[in-house]
Amino acid sequence: MPAPAHDRGDILYAPSRERVLTTNAWAFLHWLAATHGVVLADWTALQTWSATEFAGFASAVRAFACLPDGADAARIRHDSGLLLHLDLRPDDMLLVDDASDWSGAACHVAGLARHDGAPGALLQAAAAAGASVLVAPAARLDRVAFRLGAGRHDLARLRAVVALGGPMAANARARFYTWVKPDLMLLARAGDTVWGDPLSPVLRTPPAQPALGVTLRPPSRAPGGR
């Protein structure tokens, strides 16, 4: 039987109790228990509930995030991903290196900026913008992680990095903590799949999980199986 991740030395960063308690996800779990009587122990329980009881989850997200009553399922999944998975907050400066539309995040943060310069200047741009959350394709973040001297920029405000298209390579994730910053939350997302969450330790090789509100898929069966 394989050893748990923490026994394999797979943990790259374990957020402090104080840091976990300041996340939107933690606040949402306690708000759910107090106002709806729904008691969920952790992120996995939240994801399962959001998928199996989507109507209740949608109603709760609308109220918690002050979304309009007419917010549809797509809006619920989108905004719950921004608020609960990415943990975007009203005082955040979000820097995005991605061509897709991130305008929907603007209402959740203090500022939204885009980086359209050279990939190697990504951390320099994050420092100049005072970014607290950086979003970029995994391949570009991989390149940044392998640049010597990457940590010379002032990234005091940066608390989370989100890789698009899937997580960075394991070695790049480890080097981020050595050369960029030692206390970052590293998350990843690609469509309806996410890696990592704001309540749990950051792993060298995080497992893929469904995004909030996405139905859990049953295990695939072998050809000819029952």
Confidence class of residue 152 from pLDDT cuts 50, 70 and 90?
Answer: confident
pLDDT interval class at 111 (50, 70, 90): very high
Check residue 3 and give its pLDDT: 42
Paired strand residues for 114: 96
Domain 15-210, CATH: 3.40.50.980
Whether 149 shows a pLDDT value over 60: the answer reads no
Look at the block and give the residue holding tokens 């002050």. 66
pLDDT over 80 at 114, yes or no: yes
Q: Give residue-wise pLDDT tens across range 199-221.
A: 999 999 999 999 999 987 654 45
In whole angstroms, what is the distance from residue 100 CA to residue 71 CA?
Answer: 21
H or E element, residue 172: helix 170-175
* 189/135 Cα distance (integer angstroms): 10
In this model, does residue 167 exceed pLDDT 50?
Answer: yes
Q: How far apart are CA 161 and CA 141, in angstroms?
A: 9
Q: Region 130-159: what's the mean pLDDT?
A: 86
Q: pTM for this one?
A: 0.90
Look at residues 173, 210, 189 and name the one whose alpha carbon lies nearest to residue 13: 173
CA 215 from chain center: how many Å?
Answer: 18
- Which of the pair, 216 or 155, is modelled with greater confidence? 155
Q: Contact, 120 vs 146, CB < 8 A?
A: no
Task: Give the phi and the psi of residue 60 in degrees, each rounded to 5.
Answer: -65, -45
